[in-house]
Amino acid sequence: MASKEYLIDILKENHVFKSGNFTLSSGKKSEYYIDMKKAITEPNILKTIAELIYQSIDGTGIDKVAGPALGAVPIATAVSLQANIPLLMIRKEKKDYGTSKLIEGELHKGDNVVVIEDVTTTGNSLIKAIKAIQDNGGIVKRAFVIVDREEGAIDSFKKENINLEPLISVTEFF
C-alpha cells in the first residue's frame, strides 16, 4: 500500500527538489524548484501518486478525474486508470481551431469531479481550472495537489470555499 512517507522517499531518490535560483510560473523567485515533470515521467512515482489519491476517493461518488494541462494530465490519467473513472483535461485557454473546447472529455451537468494538480504556489492556475469545471456544470468535490509549496494556495482555496488536499508539503519534504 502506498504511503506519504514512501512518496517522499522516492521523490528524494529521484532528485525532484532542486536548489538554486529559479523563477516560478507565478513569477515569484525561489531558491528551490520542485521538478514534478521529472517525477511524473517515472512510472513508480506516478503509480504511487495514483494509489494515494485513489485511496482517498474510492467509494466517494466521484464521476470524473480532471487535471489542468500540462503537468497534471499524466497524474489525472494515472488516477483515472487506477480508479476506472473517466478523465477530463482542462486547457489553459480555449483553442481557436477544431472544437474550440476548454475541457476535453465528457463533462455532464452535475458530475462530481476531483481535480488534481502537480504543484501549487498561489493556487491561481488550479482555481482557474476548477472554475472552468464549475462554469460547465461540474461539481468539484475534491482538489488534490502533489506538493504544496506553502505559499498561499491553501488560503486562496479557503476563500473559494474549496478544500485543497496536498499529498505532501515542502515542510514535510525538507
Question: Does the annotation place 151 within a ligand binding site?
Answer: no
Question: Does the annotation place 115 within a ligand binding site?
Answer: no
Helix %, strand %, coil % for the chain, to 5?
35, 30, 35
* Nearest CA among 116, 121, 126 for reference residue 170: 121
Question: Does the annotation place 56 within a ligand binding site?
Answer: no
Question: Does the annotation place 122 within a ligand binding site?
Answer: yes
Question: Does the annotation place 23 within a ligand binding site?
Answer: no
Question: Does the annotation place 51 within a ligand binding site?
Answer: no
Question: Does the annotation place 125 within a ligand binding site?
Answer: yes
Positive or negative, the Cα torsion across 71, 29, 153, 12?
positive
Question: Does the annotation place 95 within a ligand binding site?
Answer: yes
* Alpha helix positions (H), 59-161: 72-83, 124-135, 153-159
Question: Does the annotation place 91 within a ligand binding site?
Answer: yes
Question: Does the annotation place 123 within a ligand binding site?
Answer: yes
The set of cell numbers assigned to 76 is 489525472
Question: Does the annotation place 93 within a ligand binding site?
Answer: no
**Binding site for 5-phospho-alpha-D-ribose 1-diphosphate: which residues?**
91-92, 95, 117-125
**Binding site for orotate: which residues?**
121, 149
**Binding site: which residues?**
91-92, 95, 117-125, 149
